[in-house]
Amino acid sequence: MLEPSRQYTADPTRYESMRYVRSGDSGLKLPEVSLGLWHNFGDITPFDTMCQIAFTAFDNGITHFDLANNYGPMTGAAERNFGRIMHDYLRPYRDEMIISSKAGYEMWPGPYGGVSGSRKYLIASCDQSLERMGLEYVDIFYHHCMDPETPLEETMLALEQIVRSGRALYVGLSNYDGPTMRKAAAILDELHVPFIINQNRYNIFDRTIERNGLKEEAHALGKGLITFSPLAQGLLTDRYLDGVPADSRIGHDPRFLDKNALTETKLGQIRDLNKMAQQRDQTLAEMALAWLLHDETVTSVLVGASRPQQVLDDIAAMNNTEFTQEELDKINEISSR
């Protein structure tokens, strides 16, 4: 195990191959591939492994590390573990990093820590996140989900205070639909709050943001879009081409795929997409990531990793992001069956 004695030195060539994209009309650039810390930075993962994943990401130009108050397991663990990595190894590089967090889903017991967009919850949670990570501020702070029980103005005013107080540099919205995001953007614009990005699930199989107006509105308003679950929790890989492996966590771990997701129809889609990927000289995972990266409305793609090599595999998708119209049409046809 590494000792926290500044033994980590970032690769001096780390910015040579990564591409960086402005988030909408803002001045902030994000790497095309960002690291999400949802699954594998909880207490069930060895600390050494977490360090090596973070180092591999940063050494290859991934400057953006995305967290939330409830990431783990257990809740709060990912921020606490990332804070330890920052303190022990990455602190000298803080100004080269984009660190984001979120609040909105259930976090602590009682009426003030459940699913909420209240001023009480958002500001308290932001303070807790900063304390867990040992940071003075985050670069982006998101409201994690829509809350129909809280007036939208209250939620946006809470985000405004978080920025004005120096707790965050920018704000984002996550899991919003198009119409609600537009209303929120209007309030934030009036308050002169730098709302620059939306975070939503988007992949070849999940086109929700194409149907609920989010993707169209984000483009029209000049807001960035960072997408999560690019591999549909493993469906868009070769892992399930021949059915469910014996060591699969499907049905045993709520963080992973539901056992009912692997229907015969879905398996047929996966096999057909895999054939396309082979024709492109890519793995299915690489093609799924490349499909997102080719989209000019997508600022960055969030990937997760359980080992360092997965980070490198995901970055490899940047090598071929060109698609013919015939290929795009074929992907749409397969995914809509």
Structure tokens that stand for 185 in this block: 């953007």
Sequence-distant (≥ 6) Cβ neighbours of residue 19 within 8 angstroms: 31, 32, 318
Phi, psi values for residue 34, rounded to 5°: -115, 160
Task: Say how many C-beta atoms besides its own lie within 10 A of residue 64's C-beta.
Answer: 26
Task: Say how many C-beta atoms besides its own lie within 10 A of residue 154's C-beta.
Answer: 14
Distance, CA of 51 to CA of 58 (rounded, Å): 11
pLDDT tens for 131-154 read 999 999 999 999 999 999 999 999
Per-residue pLDDT for 251 more than 60? no
**Residue 58 to residues 16, 35, 99, Cα–Cα distance (Å):** 12, 9, 12
Mean pLDDT value across residues 78-84? 98
pLDDT attached to residue 258 = 74
Chain CA centroid to CA 66, Å: 6
CB-side neighbour CA atoms (13 Å) of 24: 24
Per-residue pLDDT for 2 more than 70? no
Q: Mean pLDDT score of the chain, rounded to an integer?
A: 95
pLDDT tens for 14-73 read 999 999 999 999 999 999 999 999 989 999 999 999 999 999 999 999 999 999 999 999
pLDDT attached to residue 260 = 75
**Every domain of the chain and the residues it spans:** 20-234+284-324
pLDDT attached to residue 166 = 98
Q: How confident is the model at residue 255 (pLDDT cuts 50, 70, 90)?
A: low
Pick the CATH number of 20-234+284-324 from 3.40.50.300, 3.40.50.720, 1.10.357.10, 3.20.20.100: 3.20.20.100
